[in-house]
Amino acid sequence: MPTSYNAIAGTELGRVCALSDGIFAIAMTLLVLDIHAPEAADIHSEAELAAALIKLAPTAATWLMSLITLGIFWLGQQTQLSRLAGMNRNLAWLHFLFLAVVTAFPFSTRLLGSFFDYRLAFLIYYANILLAGVSLYIAWTYAERAGLTDEKPPGEKAAAIRRRIVRAQGLYAVGGLAGLMSPPLGVALIILIQVNYALAPRWTNRS
């Protein structure tokens, strides 16, 4: 019986890892391009420079939030990829879907930085986080069911990956609800949530 193309396509795990690193690196770099230094022609004193820098606060806050967001999601995907025993075409496309969501972060970040007090801009940014989490969860769930993880059958390590995504998205949802009342408050809460996951304090590790 001849081998089908779908059976041999997308089986190189290393290529998915390489694509992931490249896309995350580009997305992280694009974030900082939206922070523009004040024009020298508009600045004539220390006070004017300080005032111009203060005006950059919303853009800087969204840059910081997105930088940490991408770092968390990069680590999450790399953790999944490191626990895979193999790759197939369907799983490759699921990770490609996740990476497609990642490429939207520079846009949603720019939108939120430009309209910092607008709920719609905040909700679009939060939707970006939600879609990234959902697509990453779907990819891992498929990997488990397809027998592509390094635990056979999937055990505690696989469950820990799923719990991590669900708990993080639950906390992000709290930030999302806060953003409906006040977008700056939502941004502040999301940053605090991200710092918690980035630093991984002892109580988080125990959970």
Cα-Cα-Cα-Cα dihedral sign, residues 114, 117, 121, 127: positive
Please state, as a whole number, how many other Cβ atoms lie within 10 Å of the Cβ of residue 61: 17
- 65 touches 187 (CB < 8 A): yes
Cα 175 to Cα 182: distance, rounded to the nearest angstrom:
10
pLDDT confidence of residue 11: 74
Q: Each residue of 141-156: b (16+ CB within 10 Å) or e? A: bbbbeeebbeeeebee
pLDDT confidence of residue 3: 67
What is the arithmetic mean of pLDDT over 106-127?
Answer: 95
Tens of pLDDT, residue by residue over 162-202, are 999 999 999 999 999 999 999 999 999 999 999 888 886 55
Q: Is 39 left (phi over 0), alpha (psi -120 to 50) or beta?
A: beta
Q: Is the pTM of this model over 0.85?
A: yes
Task: Give the closest residue to 124 by CA, choosing from 114, 138, 136.
Answer: 114
Looking at the chain, the whole-number percentage of residues with pLDDT higher than 90 is 66
Res. 109 pLDDT band, cuts 50 70 90: very high
Determine phi and psi for 152, rounding to 5 degrees: -130, 110
Mean pLDDT (the chain) is: 89
Tens of pLDDT, residue by residue over 71-104, are 999 999 999 999 999 999 999 999 999 999 999 9
What are the structure tokens assigned to 53, written together? 């820098």
Cis peptide before 153 (omega within 30 of 0): yes
What distance separates the 2 farthest-apart alpha carbons in the chain? 79
pLDDT confidence of residue 207: 46
pLDDT confidence of residue 5: 66
Q: HSE on the CB side for 115, CA within 13 Å? A: 12
What are the structure tokens assigned to 194, written together? 């991200």
Q: Where are the domains of the chain?
A: 5-206
pLDDT confidence of residue 72: 94
Cα 36 to Cα 59: distance, rounded to the nearest angstrom:
9
Cα 14 to Cα 27: distance, rounded to the nearest angstrom:
20
Tens of pLDDT, residue by residue over 136-148, are 999 999 999 999 9
- 116 touches 62 (CB < 8 A): yes
